[in-house]
Chain A
């Protein structure tokens, strides 16, 4: 245990892990929707820092680009479009009874995973070494090329599904013409803005 404390890697780990858990906790308990999303940014940035600590550089920057860059923006759009209460609002979470049950469930889950991990792995050492992006590229386009193609089909399906679900059904008259002319997404956004 004294070895563990003296290693600078572990200081870095603690410096990353403590804000991460705090941010994750605030993200699921914050009474303000926008604060909740911004705390998720902190938690995801900490996970990117953790990947850098482990030497997984490509994954770290992918997390920054895709999660923090794209998914968070999508969440903020979702909040604005569904007009979730933006101010301080106590009704964002369920009652205290549900909270107690959820706390028991998640606490039990955490205890279970912790105990089995410590029993299973003990103090097995991890030595971080940088994974070069060329290794990832070679592996993804040789060994994992079929899963890679399947993921691109999933993304295409999500793209089409998102447009089909979110577009407004065209009604008779100029509404139908407008949504037929413009792209479904932009017509949808203007319609949404006009309604507000």
Chain B
């Protein structure tokens, strides 16, 4: 196995996540695309950790931290989406135009 194949796969996943964030209208699906980007970051962390043979496994531990922060982010994100839905009866990001003149 070569290192590049993992990084390129991570790049493909990250690009798809960016595409999803930019194209989705539903806020829940935008959060889902962000999860895809975080999964790509995890692949990079673990691949570099194994590549560098880190004696303290720093890459793997930071991928665990990324997973924990992702869980927190989804919890808060969905709470905010829920609040917006309750106030505006819509979870579409393009209808949240309160700051538009």
Contact = CB atoms under 8 A, between A and B. Distances in A.
Given A50-B43, A91-B25, 20 more contacts: A21-B16, A27-B32, A28-B19, A33-B26, A36-B32, A50-B9, A55-B50, A66-B68, A67-B35, A75-B32, A92-B24, A94-B22, A113-B11, A114-B8, A117-B7, A117-B8, A123-B2, A144-B56, A158-B72, A162-B76
Interface of B is mostly: helix
Interface of B: 1-9, 11-20, 22-29, 31-33, 35-36, 39, 42-43, 46-47, 49-51, 53, 56-58, 60-61, 63-65, 67-76, 78-83, 85-86, 91, 94
A102 interface: yes
Contact of A92 (B29, B47, B49, B85): B29
Contacts of A55: 50
B23 A82 contact: no
Contact of A56 (B25, B27, B32, B46): B46
B4 A124 contact: yes
8 contacts: A21-B12, A28-B33, A51-B46, A54-B6, A81-B82, A102-B18, A136-B60, A154-B69
A131 B70 CA distance: 23
B3 A126 contact: yes
Contacts of B26: 33, 84, 92
Interface in A97-111: 98-99, 101-103, 105-107, 109-110
Task: Give the residue among A47, A91, A106, A127 with the most B Cβ atoms within 10 A.
Answer: A106
A145 B46 CA distance: 19
Contacts of B50: 54-56, 126-129, 131
Task: Give the residue among A101, A109, A166 with the most B Cβ atoms within 10 A.
Answer: A166
Nearest to A103: B19
Interface string A21-60: 1001101110001001100100110010011011110110
Contact of B75 (A51, A59, A151, A158): A158
B57 A139 contact: yes
A13 to B, nearest CB: 6
Contact of A20 (B13, B17, B72, B86): B13
